[in-house]
Structure 1
Amino acid sequence: MTLIRPLGETDLQAVADIYAHYVTTSAVTFDETPPGLGDWRAKAAAISEAGLPFLVAEVDGKVAGYAYLSQYRPKPAYRHTLEDSIYLAPEHTGRGLGGRLLGELIGRARETQARQLVAVIADTGDPSSARLHERLGFRAAGRLKAVGFKLGRWIDTALFQLDLRAS
């Protein structure tokens, strides 16, 4: 059974472990050192204080992935623009969990004062994240060339955007 629910304190280690996998084995995130449990606790608190969702996908009682919304940039004029982040445990990719998490985030984003939802996707050659966002209504908004250097190569980021006020 799969359940999408708010993050709980006891989920933080699983979240940290999922993210650590991507930090250490891929370029889908530009972090080079996995954040510790205290870092995740602080991030979850900041997201909660901002009134934004931090969700987990639970499969058979175990955290299989997570997703959250955050302010796109810290400057005040960006206060109506959010960014999504979604990560799945490697053994749970390709099963529709990302779509369920993103769909729930979009619904919750529409309940805020936000007008735009942005995805910043590292272009590592795997189109799955871009396709997921496009399936749920995001449109390509631009590309930043060679902005990240990880695992011995330069990586572009692709920007995708969803107008939350459009039907």
Structure 2
Amino acid sequence: MTNVRNLAEADLPAVADIYAHYVTGSVATFDETPLGLDAWRAKADGIVGAGLPFLVAEVDGAVAGYAYVSQYRPKPAYRHTVEDTIYLAPGLTGRGLGRLLLGELIRRTGETPARQMVAVIADSGDPASARLHKRFGFEEAGRLRAVGFKHGRWIDTVLLQLALDQNGSTTRQTSAG
């Protein structure tokens, strides 16, 4: 059984393990050192404390992925723009968990003062993340060339953007179903 719910303190070790997999074995994140539990606790406290969603997907009682939004940039004028983050446990991709997490993340973020959601996606050659976001109405807003260097190569990032309305949905019709 699959369930999407708010993050609990007990989920942090699983979240840290999932993220560590991507830090050490991919270019999906530009972090080069996995975050410890204290860093994850502080991050989660900051996100939830700001009134933003931090979600986990559970499959048969185990954390199978997570998603959250955080303020896009620290300057005050960006306070209504958030950046989404989604990671799935290794071996659990391609099962619709990303769709469940992103759909619920958009819905809950639409209930906050946020009006724009940005996805910053490392262009690793795998189109899955961009495809997922585009299914929910995200549109490409730009490309930053060779802005990350990891595992011996330069990586672009693709910026995708979604306008949110004040009713917990997007301002565009989506084909996420």
TM-score (norm: length of structure 1): 0.99
Query: Could you tell me which residue of structure 2 aligns to residue 125 of structure 1?
Result: 125
1:78 aligns with 2:78: yes
Query: Could you tell me which residue of structure 2 aligns to residue 157 of structure 1?
Result: 157
State the alpha-carbon separation in 2 of the partners of residues 113 and 49 from structure 1.
Answer: 14
1:92 Cα offset (Å): 0.7
Query: Could you tell me which residue of structure 2 aligns to residue 100 of structure 1?
Result: 100
Query: Could you tell me which residue of structure 2 aligns to residue 63 of structure 1?
Result: 63
State the alpha-carbon separation in 1 of the partners of residues 140 and 25 from structure 2.
Answer: 26
State the alpha-carbon separation in 2 of the partners of residues 114 and 2 from structure 1.
Answer: 27
Amino acid at match of 2:93: T
1:109 Cα offset (Å): 1.2
Name the SS for the 2:21 alignment partner: helix
Query: Could you tell me which residue of structure 2 aligns to residue 8 of structure 1?
Result: 8
Query: Could you tell me which residue of structure 1 aligns to residue 175 of structure 2?
Result: none
Number of equivalences: 167
Percent identity over the alignment? 74
State the alpha-carbon separation in 2 of the partners of residues 25 and 7 from structure 1.
Answer: 24
State the alpha-carbon separation in 2 of the partners of residues 140 and 11 from structure 1.
Answer: 32
State the alpha-carbon separation in 2 of the partners of residues 42 and 87 from structure 1.
Answer: 18
Amino acid at match of 1:45: D
Matches within 5 A, 1:46-61: 46-61=46-61
Query: Could you tell me which residue of structure 2 aligns to residue 148 of structure 1?
Result: 148
Gaps of at least 5 residues in structure 2 are 166-170, 173-177
Divergent runs of 4+, >4 A: none
Query: Could you tell me which residue of structure 1 aligns to residue 168 of structure 2?
Result: none
Deviation readout 1:15-54 (Å, 9 max, x if unpaired): 0000000000000100000000000000000001100010
Gaps of at least 5 residues in structure 1 are none
1:113 Cα offset (Å): 1.1
Query: Could you tell me which residue of structure 2 aligns to residue 44 of structure 1?
Result: 44
Say which is worse superposed, 21-30 or 107-116, in terms of deviation: 107-116
Amino acid at match of 2:163: D
Deviation readout 1:45-97 (Å, 9 max, x if unpaired): 00011000100000001000000010000000000101100000011100000
Name the SS for the 1:90 alignment partner: coil
